[in-house]
A = this chain, B = another copy of it.
Amino acid sequence: MIDLEALRSLRAVAEEGSVVAAAAALGYTPSAVSQQVKRLERDTGLPMLERVGRGVVLSRAGAQLVEDGTRLLTDLESLESDLHRQAEQAAGHLRLGTFSTATRGLVAPALAALATSEPLLRVTVTELEPWDAIAHVATGRQDAAVVHAWGDVALDVPEHLERTVVMRERADLVVRPDHPFAGRESVTARDLLGVTWVATPEGTICRQWLSRMYDGTGARPRVAHVAGEFDSHLALVAAGLGVSLVPRLGRSDLAAVPGGPLVAVPVVEPVPTRTVSFVSRRSMAGSPAVTALREALSRG
């Protein structure tokens, strides 16, 4: 592999016109520069300098190496300065894992604001289930994640990750206007024992919470339909196929759902509360970039 240190010496020879001048410019001895050039010639197998008169002239290969390599050297320098700048500024590239409703309801507006307040910071979003997101952050495949946990469902994050609550939100029961619950101020978990559910797939956090709501009642929720996205839930509810528990975050306008308007009824006893958290590795939690991202999401 070509040694960039030696390449810099060769460039100095090209610019200064002689080995001594180059050595003086770089603070080396002429012999050192000569040996570095020799090393380049050994590494590439091509001659770099040729003696002419009592001086040297760059060979064709040498001239080309300098011409092309100069760009490399400046790239390396700018890379190095970028590295230091991004350690103190909110700049660079962050990979954020999010879950679906947060993507549209929370992350998108936050990133839009961030794009103007921190123009040097680039964030790429990947949708992931919370446990996957946490695993990705833990192993470095993501830099941070937005995760959620329903009420008391524990979300255990590894020791080297840091978690801060971004917001708390709740879910409502969504029904058709002609449903018996449509006019109610609120409904309780006990009221819901007999209803037919449109639920999220087995294994999702939302599904877990639905099951947990039935704890102590001895019953299990009757799930008739399964859909991953809440917009699909709304369509199924509008079609009269069941009711759904839909979080407010990222929820579509219920009045504009195809198939007729729907209504949301607050649920109490227990209130289905969801905690949305920001997770990042503890080591970079204090970095300006991560801090800026976390605060942008907290403001949202």
Contact = CB atoms under 8 A, between A and B. Distances in A.
Interface of A: 1-2, 4-5, 8, 44-47, 50, 52-53, 55, 57-61, 63-65, 67-69, 71-72, 75-76, 79-80, 82-84, 86-87, 92-93, 138-140, 143, 158, 160, 281, 283-284, 287, 289-290
10 contacts: A44-B83, A52-B158, A52-B160, A57-B140, A61-B87, A63-B140, A64-B82, A64-B83, A64-B86, A72-B79
A140 B58 contact: yes
A82 B68 contact: yes
Contact of A80 (B2, B5, B283, B289): B2
Nearest to A139: B57
Contacts of A53: 138, 158
A84 B60 CA distance: 11
A158 B8 CA distance: 30
Contacts of A72: 72, 75-76, 79
Task: Give the one of A5, A67, A140, A287 with max B CB within 10 A.
Answer: A140
B52 A65 contact: no
Contacts of A92: 60, 64
A60 B121 CA distance: 13
A79 to B, nearest CB: 5
B79 A69 contact: yes
Contacts of A80: 1-2, 44
A60 B2 contact: no
Contact of A79 (B2, B139, B140, B284): B2
Given A5-B1, A47-B283, A50-B283, A67 B83 contact: no
Contacts of A83: 44, 46, 61, 64-65, 68
Contacts of A289: 60
Contacts of A61: 83, 86-87
B1 A76 contact: yes
